A = this chain, B = another copy of it.
């Protein structure tokens, strides 16, 4: 017992140089690393079942140190969410730049969305609603982050030659719903690539 105490003592003040246990893209600063690691764990286990201690361990430091970068777990999540939305928004914008007629563009959008959401599961998955459950003080900020992306979708749908009596709002919800739900069943290496899935969805939603 006394020995253990002594051994523990020796480490006081010495950095432990814990190695991160989760691979993250290189070239990220410490803060970004933590966001990446946290995103990966949230994606894997969900928000509630991922503790600050888990995140700290995976990132190679101790839980107390996280609070040097983030004032709370919710603030950390907000940043993860925002990073995910940025990836999605960027991927979608690039895809739309390929141009084409409105239906082709929607196909590009769907494919890009699926790829971003399904292939970045190691970095983020929750890109969407209700993960840290319900209303909290950051709710408005979550919505803001999401709205920027949803506007891109609305604009793309707005250009389609849909029947005039068909509700665009419902169409968008159906489209995004199927896209987002794919996170619950998609497994890498299956019969379909994310692009296949996106294109298939658009094909099925195209009136003839």
Stretch at the interface among A3-11, A61-69, A85-93, A167-175: A167-175
Would A134 and B49 count as touching, CB distance under 8 A? yes
CB contacts under 8 Å to B, within A138-193, are 166-167, 170-171, 173-182, 184-185, 192
Which residue from B178, B184, B208 sits with its C-beta under 8 Å from A178?
B178
Which of A45, A128, A173, A176 has the most chain B CB within a 10 Å cutoff?
A: A173
User: Is A101 an interface position by the 8 A CB rule?
Assistant: no
- The one of B134, B170, B176, B197 in contact with A192, judged by C-beta atoms closer than 8 angstroms, is B170
- The residue among A128, A171, A179, A201 with the most chain B CB atoms within 10 A of its own CB is A201
Q: Given the complex of chains A and B, what is the CA–CA distance between A45 and B48 in angstroms?
A: 13
Number of interface residues of A (CB under 8 A): 35
Q: What residue of chain B has the Cβ atom nearest to residue A184's Cβ? A: B129
- Give the oligomeric copy count: 2
A204 contacts chain B at the CB level, 8 A cutoff: yes
Return chain B residues, CB-CB under 8 Å to A133. Answer: 45-46, 48-49
Q: Which residues of B contact A197 (CB under 8 A)?
A: 170
A53 within 8 A of B: no
In the bound assembly, the distance between CA atoms of A158 and B61 in angstroms comes to 53
**Given contacts A46-B133, A170-B197, A177-B179, could you give 4 more A-B pairs where the C-beta distance is less than 8 Å?**
A49-B134, A129-B184, A166-B200, A174-B201
Task: Give 27 pairs: A residue, B residue, CB < 8 Å, sorted on A.
Answer: A44-B134, A45-B134, A46-B130, A46-B133, A49-B133, A49-B134, A128-B184, A129-B184, A166-B200, A166-B203, A166-B204, A170-B201, A173-B182, A174-B200, A174-B201, A174-B204, A176-B181, A177-B177, A177-B179, A177-B181, A177-B182, A178-B178, A180-B181, A204-B205, A204-B207, A205-B205, A208-B208
